[in-house]
Amino acid sequence: MDYHTFDIPAFQTAGGVTLDLQLAYRLYGELSAARDNAILVLTSYAAQHEDATALFAASPTLDLSRYCVIVINMFCNGLSSSPSNTPGPHDGPRFPAITVGDNVACQHRLLAEHFGITRLRLVMGFSMGALQAFEWGSRYPDMVAALLPICGAARVSPHNYLFLDGAKAALMADQAFAAGDYDVQPQTGLLAFGRVYAGWMFSQAFFRDAHYRALGFADVEAVVKFAQAYFMRRDANDLLAMLRTWQHADISANDRFAGDFVAALRAIRARAIVMPGETDLYFTVADSEFEVAHMPHAELRAIRSPFGHVAGSGMDPIGKAAIDAAINALIG
């Protein structure tokens, strides 16, 4: 096992369910005696800590002899508490709804209680990792020095919600899914899920102009098979539980802000570089422009790439260079 775990007993979710939870995490580099060199990297949809290393691997600025990168696996990704690894009565489809805020509250406990960290040099993440990064900046403004949300949003749009609903419907339509009480993974549903998702991961130009060849894909069907293989690694209930977290992401959906989205954005005091993808079909530049306009110390840097949402994942050389430059600007 290449990761550690942290127990959170009797945690009460935003929805009012109390259960024992566990976070899985991994450190890259060593935490200083002063606990002042920590960088937090948050995982994206269906990703685990090893996937997240693509964001900082070979970074010319993020020197692991100088910084300690802590990657925390979000709930429902199969390593941290998830439908697939939680005993009854919260197993499988009975696993409670977990919000982005629930994730961040538990992550804060890990860093504060276990490591004694009071200040993070940088909080960054791609996609769902960006949703968590925004939540960190708003919920714990005194703890976050710098913020780098990549291809994400502080609040999910209705259009993004609907896309996710379509992927969910494709998976759940498989009779083998059995309302989540399956004995074997619903293969047909997972393959359908991956096919729906593939069309949204990348941009129209990515397919039209055959940019997929730069990633080694021979044709469009090869891209589909890549997406299918990615999701076939995961449990179906885990995928749906993470998707539910994503659909309800909103940094103002809590007692402190009571739905005042602008106030929640203004609460982010960290120096921030917000990085949407110009061709991202999930999270738009227009949404990022609104966020940056209401964040006191934020800058917009759109990734100019035809790779769509994946431009921010570390797979795209153009996107990776932009991410490295942003890291350098924030901590270099």
Active-site option among 102, 235, 238, 280: 280
In the annotation, is 203 catalytic? no
> Strand order in 271-274's β-sheet?
4-12, 18-28, 68-72, 38-42, 122-126, 146-150, 271-274, 298-300
Who's near 32: CB < 8 A, 6+ residues apart?
A: 68
Query: In the chain, which ranges are E strands?
Result: 4-12, 18-28, 38-42, 68-72, 122-126, 146-150, 271-274, 298-300
Distances (CA, A) of 198 to 43, 73, 122, 128, 223: 19, 23, 31, 17, 7
In the annotation, is 280 catalytic? yes
Active-site option among 49, 211, 248, 309: 309
In the annotation, is 127 catalytic? yes
Active-site option among 59, 127, 203, 313: 127
Dist CA 53 CA 121 (whole Å): 17
Active-site positions read: 127, 280, 309
